[in-house]
Chain A
C-alpha cells in the first residue's frame, strides 16, 4: 500500500474552494435560506457566525451556483481602500477597466446605479465585512438604497464584541442568517463526505463514532478547527507510515495518533 496519507491530509487544508464544499443538512438549509433572501426585495443580507462556521464557504458556493444565472460578484478578500472598492464596484457594473490614474466618483457611481433601477439587479458578495470602515459601510448602504445593487455580507462573531450590535449594521441589515458550529453527527458526516469525495472510503470507514467524539471534544464542531485537526492527524499518520509502518494499522484508527494530534495542537498538556 502506497503512502496515501499525504493526499488524505491535503483534503483538510483549509480553503474556500467550490469542490471542497460538503453538503450537510444545516449547510443546505442555510444555502436555501440565502437563496430565497436574494429573491426578496432586500438591500442587505448578513451572514453571521464565529470563524470557521462556513460563512465564506457558503458565500463561495452561492457565487459559483448563481454566477451563470444572475449578475453576481464575489469579493472574497476585504477591500479596505475606499478608492479601490469603488473602482471594483464600477468595473463589475460596467465591465470596463478604470485606468490606474483615475478614480471613481462616488456621486457619479450612485447616479449610475439609480439609472439602472428596474433594468438590472446586481448582487455583491462581500466577505469579512467587519474589517470595512464605517464610512465605506455608509457608502455601501447608499448604493444598496438605489435598489439596483444588493449586498450579501459576512461578519465574524467574536466573544468580545457583537459587531451586529453596532449602529451602522443594526439599522441597515434587513436579513440575518446566523451560522453555528456543526453537531457531532454533522461533523462525522462532514469528515466522511470529505474523505469519500476524494475516494478514501477505507479511511472513512476506519473513523468510528468514538473517534469523532474525541475530535469533537476539542474542535467543538468548528469546521476550520476540524480541518486543522485532521490535517495534523494524517500528517502524523504519514510520518509513521513511512518511518515506523509496524505502528500503523490500516483497519483501525489509532487513538495514540489522535492523542498526539491533540498534544501537538495544544488541546491537551503533555
Chain B
C-alpha cells in the first residue's frame, strides 16, 4: 500500500517535470519565433547598419588622402610665394618619402623660407608696384584678415560691443606678434644653419639645393655656386642645380661660362626651363 502511495507521488513528480519541460519547449519555440520575426522585420535596419559600417570603413581608408592634401595645398601656396622649381621639389620629395615627418617638417618651414623668385618679382614690379617682395608676410596678413572677418561674423550674433573691442585688441596684438615672428625668422641665418645641419646629417641633394637657393637669395653667389655643385654631384639630373649654378655664375660676372654650361646641359635634357634661362641670360633679364 505504501509502495503504491509512493509510486503515485513519483508519478505526480514525473508529471510536474514533464509539464516544465513542455513549458520550456513552448517557451523556446515562442522565443525563436519572435526572434525570427524581429530579425525579419529589422532586416532593413541591419542592412543600413551594415552600409554605415562600410561607409565608416571607407572614410577610414580615405584618411591617408586627407593627409596628403596639406602637401598639395602647400604646393599651391608655395607656387604663389616661391618659384615653381621649389614647389615641384617639395612634391617630388613627398612622393618619394610618402607622408614622412621630414616632409611635414619641410612644409612647415615653407612660410619662413626667405627665398624669392627674383625673376617673377621683377616682372611683377613692372606690372604692379603694389606687389610685395615678401609674399610670406602677405600670406600671414591675408590669414589675419580672414580671422578678423570671422570675429566680425561672430560679433554680429554672439558678442557684445565691449567683448568685441577687447577681442579686436587681442587680435591686433596677435597680428603684431606674428609679424615680428616672421621678421625674426625671416633672417636666412637660421634657415641656412638648419639646412646645413640637416645636410650634414642626410647628405641629400635636396638640402644642398635648398642651401644653394638660400645663398643665391642672400646674394652670396660663391656659396650658392658651391652648394649648386654639391647638389649636382649628388644628383646631376635635377635642372635646378644647373640653373642655380649658372645664375650664380652670371651674378659673379661669368656669363659666358654660365651659358656654356647651360647649353651643354640643354643639349642633353632639352628642358624648356633651361632654354628659357639661357634666353634670359642672353637678353640680360636675369
Interface flag for B1 (CB, 8 Å): yes
Complex Cα spacing A259 to B8, Å: 10
Render B1-42 as a binary contact track against A, CB cut-off 8 A, 1 for contact.
100100110110111000000000000000000000000000
Interface flag for A263 (CB, 8 Å): yes
B10 A263 Cβ-Cβ under 8 A: yes
Complex Cα spacing A40 to B1, Å: 56
Among A256, A260, A263, A270: residue with most chain B CB under 10 A? A270
Checking A260, A268, A269 against B8 with a beta-carbon cut-off of 8 angstroms, the contacting residue is A260
Interface flag for A25 (CB, 8 Å): no
B7 A260 Cβ-Cβ under 8 A: yes
Residues of A with C-beta under 8 A to B13? 270
Q: How many residues of B contact A (CB 8 A)?
A: 9
B1 A243 Cβ-Cβ under 8 A: yes
Specify the chain B residue showing the minimal Cβ separation from A269.
B14
Which secondary structure dominates where chain A touches chain B? helix
Specify the chain B residue showing the minimal Cβ separation from A259.
B11
Which secondary structure dominates where chain B touches chain A? helix
Min CB–CB distance B136 → chain A (angstroms): 92
Interface flag for A236 (CB, 8 Å): yes
Complex Cα spacing A168 to B137, Å: 119
Complex Cα spacing A270 to B11, Å: 6
Interface flag for A214 (CB, 8 Å): no
A259 B4 Cβ-Cβ under 8 A: no
Q: How many residues of A contact B (CB 8 A)?
A: 12
Interface flag for A264 (CB, 8 Å): yes
Known: A239-B1, A243-B1. A259 touches B14 (CB 8 A): yes
Give the contacts of A244-270 with B (CB-CB under 8 A): 256, 259-260, 263-264, 268-270
B14 A268 Cβ-Cβ under 8 A: yes
Complex Cα spacing A239 to B10, Å: 16
Residues of A with C-beta under 8 A to B15? 259
A263 B1 Cβ-Cβ under 8 A: no
Known: A263-B14, A270-B14. A236 touches B1 (CB 8 A): no
Specify the chain A residue showing the minimal Cβ separation from B8.
A260
Residues of B with C-beta under 8 A to A243? 1, 4
A263 B11 Cβ-Cβ under 8 A: yes
Residues of A with C-beta under 8 A to B1? 239, 243
Residues of B with C-beta under 8 A to A256? 11
Among B1, B8, B11, B14: residue with most chain A CB under 10 A? B11
Complex Cα spacing A13 to B10, Å: 25
Specify the chain A residue showing the minimal Cβ separation from B12.
A270
Complex Cα spacing A189 to B4, Å: 29
Render B266-284 as a binary contact track against A, CB cut-off 8 A, 1 for contact.
0000000000000000000
B14 A264 Cβ-Cβ under 8 A: no
Min CB–CB distance B212 → chain A (angstroms): 97
Give the contacts of A151-193 with B (CB-CB under 8 A): none
Min CB–CB distance B106 → chain A (angstroms): 83
**In the A-B complex, the 4 residue pairs with the closest CB atoms:** A270-B10, A270-B14, A239-B4, A260-B11
Other A-B contacts than A259-B15, A268-B14, 11 sampled, CB-CB below 8 A, are: A236-B7, A239-B1, A243-B1, A256-B11, A260-B7, A260-B8, A263-B10, A263-B11, A263-B14, A270-B13, A270-B14
B binding-site residues for A, Cβ under 8 Å? 1, 4, 7-8, 10-11, 13-15
